[in-house]
Amino acid sequence: MRCALRMLEAIAELNRAHPALELAVRIGINTGEALVALDGGVDSEGVVGDVVNTARLQGVAPVNGVVVGEATWRVTQALFEYEQLAPVQVKGKAEPVAIWRVLGARSRPGVDLAELPPTPLIGRGEELAALRGCYRQAFSEHAVQLVTVLGEPGVGKSRLVREFAGFVDAQPELMAWRRAIACPTARPAASGPSARS
């Protein structure tokens, strides 16, 4: 979906740079299973299936717009803003198909949709400064940074990461970042001094 929205931006940029081009595009996106023939010749469609028929809704998409089918809308409605359009008839479908127009992304890639808590973060200034420093280093050096946040349950790891997410999202540049949660494997308790580290 983000790729489709970026395509619209690229078309607009090209038209601004070269007005004589007058480029326009319609984009249709659908989600589902299809059968793909890798050795299809000129007499073969190559890709077949009900999802392909519905994907033909690109023909009814607004000029310089993106529309999606119901399956795509259902799995992405929390990530993108949509406007439901009137159902349309597409080739290969007996009944009208429900479609939605994509209006924009709700957040940047890698940023959770959860709102930041209304209370201020207390006692984690150094940790947050370290995360911000890693961000600045990754941006200035164009290099990947890997940060591991460790701590006992309940000490505020998730809150710290949410605060950092808010910081990243507030920056003028678009930065892709990912978060992973690791759950340690349970180990039997040991006794004696050797169990302490």
What's this model's pTM, rounded to 2 decimal places?
A: 0.53
**E strand map for the chain:** 26-29, 35-36, 47-48, 65-68, 80-88, 97-105
Q: Tell me the chain's radius of gyration from C-alpha atoms.
A: 24
Asked whether the beta carbons of 28 and 38 are under 8 A apart, the reply is no
The pLDDT tens digits of the residues spanning 20-78 come to 999 999 998 988 887 777 665 555 566 777 777 666 777 888 999 999 999 899 988 88
CA–CA distance from 183 to each of 23, 141, 152, 153 (Å)? 50, 31, 12, 11
pLDDT confidence band for 97 (50 / 70 / 90) = confident
Give the distance from CA 9 to its chain's centroid.
17
Higher pLDDT, 176 or 27: 27
The pLDDT tens digits of the residues spanning 142-159 come to 888 888 888 887 788 888
Which domains, and CATH codes, for the chain?
2-105 (3.30.70.1230), 108-182 (no CATH)
